[in-house]
Amino acid sequence: MQHRDDNNERWVQHNFDALTMRGLSRTTKVLIAVGVACSILILLNMLELRNIREPGPAPQKLKATKAKQPKFVVYTKDGRTGHLKHVFNVMRRLGYEESTVEDNWDVLWSHPYPFTILPALKHLKPHQKVNHFPGSGFITNKANLATMDIPHVPKAFRLPKDRELLFDYVKRNPKKVFVQKSNHHRGIKISNVKELDLSANGTFVQEYVDRPLLVDGYKFDIGVYTILTSVDPLRVYIYGGDVLFRFCPEKYHPFDPKVVDKYVIGDDYLPTWKVPSLKKYFTDGGFSMKDSFDAYMREIGKEPEKVWKSVEAAIQEVYLQTELSIVNLLSQYKTKQTYFEMVRFDFVIDEDLNVFIMEANMSPNLSSQHFPPNSILYEQVLFNLLSLVGVGQQVHKESLIRTKEEMIMQVNSKQLGVYPEICGTRCDTCMAPECQICQGCLTEEMHRTLQAAYLEHVNRHECRRVFPPPMTQKEAAKHFVSDSYSPENQLMYRWFKGKCLLDKAWCE
């Protein structure tokens, strides 16, 4: 700074001397010199300020990177997916990115049965998930289901193969009437045997459930969303948050078999919120369809719990009877851990609250275009289903691949332990049935099975286990396991019993 002041002083002196030579008065010369010096100082300061304010090189911007997401595929035969809008909604909210069948996807949601169309599904990676089981048609094929010899399925006969059996049944039950069906489920109407086309291939004749329970004069069916997560051992759940009620658009009485809208439920069914006795609960009270029905049943002096116990028993019977067929087909596939399936069982009820299965829908309708209020039900069913099977994951990353450390973080061996009074002292060998699920006796495959069962229970939300059957701690203490169960199912049931005895939250 001192150096700059000396230079300025010399510059002023020089200019002062030059001005003296022009004959100006001394005072004028001094003022002019001072003014010039001040102007120069101002200019110098302005230059310094500019240098101070001049920005340096622009900082390098961090390159924005999009976080990788797990991938899902929605597959249909014709490429149209508008009816699966809610599947897209839920998958995207769970953090999945839409992909293609050819890509390295994590979840495949197929509307049709995919295993005859996509042969690559025989060789899936362990982390990939598919929303159908190989062999699920043993349950969802209408003729297969109708001809199961179980109490909750009305008697049925395949045509023309079982024609003589049908005649014999009619002789013993002359007042019975029937409906003739095919797998396409179209053109159903009540007929007597003389009106049936007994030579029609691919059809079956099923006994009609007379005296149906009515609400405000309308016949109805109940759709129960059912989830299969494993076979061999078998694990089955139902969505307990709600069920789908559908009512015939015409009142049942006076009955006329020619008016099919009185007893056949089609796409243009009457929804719950248009049935007066249920509307006051569903719309005005804000309750679910199931809770509205239960309240109405108690109002008319009937106990709805009988219905729901029978529903669960019927679902158990179907899966236990078809499990071996599914297991045999599944043995052709690389892994049996990668599949899950949600079907909707449709039930009708008679006046005595007897429950009958009408059909099981492999890919139930999830479109709310016709009935927008159903969108809540569909998305809650999907969310609960995907949480149950680990697709709605708690550990988030770019795929469903899980490291050993991540699995241990979610469920470790100590959380799988049961029967401490037995496993801790009496299992020197692994021969006793209870010892086979002790830590030292578990096979690697059974350890993975118990991990999956544990995570299903933790992530089940409003899903309720149907098989192994729920139990109380008192029932679990009896140590009873049905001999009719396969060895794998007996082990699974024993494990749930052991967890129930340790913590009653595991009983159901």
Q: Are residues 351 and 426 in the same domain?
A: no
Whether residue 188 lies inside any domain: the answer is: yes
Q: Are residues 155 and 254 in the same domain?
A: yes
Whether residue 71 lies inside any domain: the answer is: no
Whether residue 439 lies inside any domain: the answer is: yes
Q: Are residues 354 and 451 in the same domain?
A: no
Closest residue by Cα to residue 328 from 146, 135, 185, 111: 135
pLDDT tens, 233-275? 999 999 999 999 999 999 999 999 999 999 999 999 999 999 9
Q: Are residues 356 and 447 in the same domain?
A: no
| Domain hosting residue 437, numbered range | 404-506
Q: Are residues 141 and 215 in the same domain?
A: yes
Whether residue 41 lies inside any domain: the answer is: no
Distance CA 279, CA 125 (A): 48
Residue 56 is predicted with a pLDDT of 47
Distance CA 83, CA 368 (A): 8
Phi, psi of 471 (to 5 degrees): -150, 165
pTM: 0.85
Q: Name the β-bridge partners of 75.
A: 110
Decide: helix, strand or coil at residue 35. Answer: helix
Q: Are residues 412 and 350 in the same domain?
A: no
Q: Which residue has the higher pLDDT, 5 or 72?
A: 72
Whether residue 330 lies inside any domain: the answer is: no
For residues 214 and 350, the answer to whether their CB atoms sit within 8 Å is no
Angle (CA) 490-422-446 rounded to 5° is: 40
Residue 21 is predicted with a pLDDT of 45
Buried b (16+ CB within 10 A) or exposed e, 321-358: bbbeebbebbeebeebbbbbbbbbbbbbbeeeebbbbb
Q: Are residues 351 and 498 in the same domain?
A: no
Residue showing tokens 């089609």: 266
pLDDT tens, 27-86? 555 455 545 555 555 555 554 545 544 444 555 555 555 568 999 999 999 999 999 999
For residues 260 and 191, the answer to whether their CB atoms sit within 8 Å is no
pLDDT tens, 16-25? 444 444 455 5
Q: Are residues 173 and 264 in the same domain?
A: yes
Q: Are residues 196 and 284 in the same domain?
A: yes
| CA distances from residue 273 to 240, 284, 371 in whole angstroms, order as listed | 20, 9, 11
Q: Are residues 353 and 422 in the same domain?
A: no
Q: What is the mean pLDDT of the chain?
A: 88
Q: Are residues 171 and 283 in the same domain?
A: yes
The number of folded domains in the chain is 2
pLDDT tens, 154-193? 999 999 999 999 999 999 999 899 999 887 656 688 988 8
Residues 6+ apart with CB under 8 A from 491: 233, 433, 436, 437, 446
In this prediction, residues 359-364 reach a mean pLDDT of 96
Whether residue 466 lies inside any domain: the answer is: yes
Whether residue 335 lies inside any domain: the answer is: no
Whether residue 470 lies inside any domain: the answer is: yes
